[in-house]
Structure 1
């Protein structure tokens, strides 16, 4: 299972459209404080966008919805359903990602069979409430060194307030890739911003 080196977190089908038009091929839909009906409607519309572009769709926090609409996978936060429980619900072919802030989190998610891990936050971000302690570049360097020493091979993606200029240094720590949100979705030209990220990540020798 190939995990993308560039993931984009979106809140609407329109944001997914812009990201995919710019070349992003891994979309995570994260919707907060919406009714179940509105969430499903947005998820189904976003799935149509992703299918049109050949992009992967991951639903944030909602395994049941991911299964119901035929999404590619689910991303689970630290207070969401346990990955092992989600695997039971979704079966072996769904992508399951999880959020980590510490090495213990990484070990637990790896043991639970997560397909990838979102590690962060890199810096402060307004897109997430109840933010875990900020890691910064030094935090990633220390944690990725522990991961290598432990022989863990699960793909780990940096998350949380990442800008274009951060990408080379972050991937140099050993991260598999990065997940971005506001740097694309809040840009004056989201399609152009997505294209910049895609080209930047693909040009780096550490990208997979």
Structure 2
């Protein structure tokens, strides 16, 4: 896709039916995160999730699997700090695919920007059990410090906060300058995931903009 919209709400899930519920409620950006699966099993779930995303005209990002993203025609990949390097993934996928990269420091954001990411997932905001290897907690002060340093380096890049974020955290996070949030359990674990998705979207809609 030559032009796309980075969504301020990125929903991370492992199941197509959860993606369907979130998209039905208005989410338009799904990150499929699966670990320790054989390629054929990963592909089967990814294809099912891709069909959901295409039904709702939503973006599908695969976590840490550039080869599969190219194989099934997903919209892009998100790469952790221990995954394939961004520059290598960009060389493999070309400019048509969205590439996001995880960061915990300003230095990593600068490196990702140099290597061609389209957005950065910066975190963790607080402790979360969904990540096995957790980087140092940033908190609001960490986000404010890093985000304030980007304009000084003339870098304009969508920064997505991630890591244990709840609905109540959104206003304060947006005030630090982040573009949006990525959440998993805040929606999946809610008593009404669809209603929770709509609440997140209502808090975040003012931050949406287009990137070439």
Aligned residue among 49, 64, 67 for 1:64? 67
Deviations 1:102-134 (A, max 9, x none): 011000000001000000000111111110001
Change (3 A) 1:115 1:191: same
TM-score by length of 2: 0.94
Question: Residues 55-94 of structure 1: matches in 2 within 5 Å?
Answer: 55-94=58-97
C-alpha distance in 2 between matches for 1:21 and 1:189: 13
1:129 matched to which residue of 2?
132
Q: Kindly provide the CA deviation profile for residues 32-71 of structure 1, in whole angstroms up to 9, marking residues without a partner as x.
A: 1222221111100000000001100000000000010100
Number of residue pairs the alignment of both structures matches = 206
Q: Does 1:152 align with 2:158?
A: no
Aligned to 1:116: 119
Paired position in structure 2 for 1:35: 38
Q: What pairs up with 1:1-208 in 2 under 5 angstroms?
A: 1-202=4-205, 204=206, 206-208=207-209
**RMSD between superposed Cα atoms in Å:** 1.0
Query: 1:50 & 1:27 partners in 2: Cα distance?
Result: 8
1:189 is displaced (CA, Å) by 1.5
Q: 1:19–1:185: 8 Å Cα contact kept in structure 2?
A: no
